Structure 1
Amino acid sequence: MPDFMFVYHGGKPPESQEAIDKAMAAWGKWMQDHGPALTDAGNPVGMSKTVTSSGTTDNGGANPVSGYSIVSAADIAEACRIASSNPMVAGGGSVEVAEIVPISM
Structure 2
Amino acid sequence: MPTYLLAYHGSSIPKTEAENAELMTAWLDWMDSLGNSLEANNNPVTATRTIHPGGAVSDDGGANPVVGLSFITADNIDAAVEMAKTCPHLGAGGSIEVAQLFKVNRDRS
TM class by shorter chain equals over 0.9
- After TM superposition, give the deviation of residue 53 of structure 1 in Å: 2.2
| Alignment-derived partner of residue 98 in structure 1 | 99
Secondary structure of 1:41's aligned partner: coil
In the alignment, structure 1 residue 47 sits paired with structure 2 residue 39? no
Shifted more, 75-84 versus 30-39: the winner is 30-39
Secondary structure of 1:23's aligned partner: helix
Aligned partners of 2:29 and 2:70: how far apart in 1? 15
Q: Which residue identity does 1:91 align to in structure 2?
A: A
- After TM superposition, give the deviation of residue 76 of structure 1 in Å: 0.2
| Alignment-derived partner of residue 73 in structure 1 | 74
Aligned partners of 2:12 and 2:40: how far apart in 1? 22
Spell out, residue by residue over 1:63-104, the C-alpha distance to the aligned partner (whole angstroms, 9 max, x if none).
001000000000000000000010111111001000111101
The gaps in structure 1 that reach 5 residues or longer are none
The 5-angstrom pairing of residues 1-105 of structure 1 reads 1-54=1-54, 55-105=56-106
Q: Which residue identity does 2:77 align to in structure 1?
A: I
- After TM superposition, give the deviation of residue 41 of structure 1 in Å: 2.2
Aligned partners of 2:25 and 2:47: how far apart in 1? 25
Shifted more, 75-84 versus 32-41: the winner is 32-41
Alpha carbon RMSD of aligned pairs, Å? 1.0
Alignment coverage as a number of residue pairs: 105
More strand by share: 1
The gaps in structure 2 that reach 5 residues or longer are none
Secondary structure of 1:71's aligned partner: strand
Aligned partners of 2:13 and 2:43: how far apart in 1? 13
Shifted more, 53-62 versus 90-99: the winner is 53-62
